[in-house]
Amino acid sequence: MPSRRAFLSGLGAAGLTATAGCLAGFDADPGSDETYGWPSGGGNDWNSRAVPNGTAPRDDPTVDRTHEFDGIPAGDPVVTAGTVLLNTGVDVIAFDREDLSRRWSVAPDDNDAFSYTGAPAVADGVAYVPERDTLVARDLDTGERLWSRGFEYVFRETTPLVIDRGDDHRVVIGAGEYLRAFDGATGELRWERRLDGIVRGPAARALASVYGTVYAATTGGELYAVDHDGRVRWNRTVNAGIRTAPTVVGSRGPNGNSIRGSGDVVVGDGDGSVRCFDPTGGHRWRTGLRGFVEGGIAAGHGGVFAVSGGGLYALNAESGNHAWRTGIGNATRPTPPALVGDTIYVGGERLHGVDVGGGVGVRSVRVGETRFEHGVDGGASYVTAADGTLFATVAGESGSGRLVVLS
Are the C-beta atoms of 158 and 151 separated by less than 8 Å? no
Beta bridge partners of 216: 224
Please determine, looking at this structure, whether the domain spanning 50-406 carries the CATH number 2.130.10.10.
yes
Could you tell me which residues come within 8 angstroms of residue 18 by beta carbon, excluding any fewer than 6 positions away? none
Residue 396's pLDDT is what?
80
Are the C-beta atoms of 376 and 68 separated by less than 8 Å? no
Are the C-beta atoms of 167 and 129 separated by less than 8 Å? no
Residue 118's pLDDT is what?
87
Are the C-beta atoms of 86 and 96 separated by less than 8 Å? no
Are the C-beta atoms of 348 and 380 separated by less than 8 Å? yes
Distance of CA 210 to the CA centre of its chain: 22
Q: Of 367, 295, 274, 288, whose CA–CA distance to 326 is shortest?
A: 367
Are the C-beta atoms of 379 and 334 separated by less than 8 Å? no
Number of residues that make up the chain? 407
DSSP 17: G
Residue 211's pLDDT is what?
61
Stated pTM of the model: 0.91
Residue 13's pLDDT is what?
41
CA–CA dist 118, 242 (Å, integer): 17
CA–CA dist 303, 320 (Å, integer): 9
* Number of Cβ within a 10 Å radius of residue 30: 13
SS3 248: strand
Residue 8's pLDDT is what?
40
Give all strands of the β-sheet with 161-164 in edge-to-edge order: 161-164, 169-175, 178-183, 189-194
Residue 360's pLDDT is what?
65
In order of 3, 247, 360, 364, 389, the CA distances from 45 in angstroms are: 42, 9, 33, 32, 21
Q: Can you give the pLDDT of all 407 residues of the chain as single tens digits?
A: 444 444 444 444 433 333 333 445 688 888 899 999 999 999 999 999 999 999 999 999 999 999 999 998 899 999 999 999 999 999 999 999 999 999 999 987 777 677 888 899 999 999 999 999 999 999 999 999 999 999 999 998 889 999 987 778 899 999 999 999 999 999 999 999 999 999 988 999 987 665 678 999 998 999 999 998 999 999 999 999 999 999 999 877 666 666 777 899 999 999 999 999 999 999 999 999 988 898 899 999 999 999 998 899 999 999 999 999 998 887 667 899 999 999 999 998 899 999 998 866 655 555 557 899 998 888 899 999 999 999 999 988 777 899 999 99
CA–CA dist 228, 31 (Å, integer): 33
CA–CA dist 226, 230 (Å, integer): 6
Residue 343's pLDDT is what?
96
Could you give phi then psi for residue 74, rounded to 5 degrees?
-130, 25
